[in-house]
Amino acid sequence: MPIYDYNCKACGHAFETLVRSDTVPACPQCASTELEKCVSPLAPAGKIEAIRMAHRRVAAAQGHFDHYSPSDKAKLLQGKKNI
Among 5, 7, 13, 26, binds Zn ion (CB under 5 A): 13
Q: Which is nearer to Zn ion, 18 or 30 (CB)?
A: 30
3-state secondary structure of 42: coil
**DSSP one-letter code for 3:** E
Q: Pattern of binders to Zn ion over 14-53, x per CB under 5 A?
A: -------------x-xx-x---------------------
Q: Which is nearer to Zn ion, 31 or 43 (CB)?
A: 31
Interacting residues of 69 by C-beta distance below 8 A, sequence separation 6+: none
Phi, psi angles (nearest 5°) of residue 34: -85, 80
Phi, psi angles (nearest 5°) of residue 13: -65, 135
Q: Which residues bind Zn ion (CB under 5 A)?
A: 8, 10-11, 13, 27, 29-30, 32
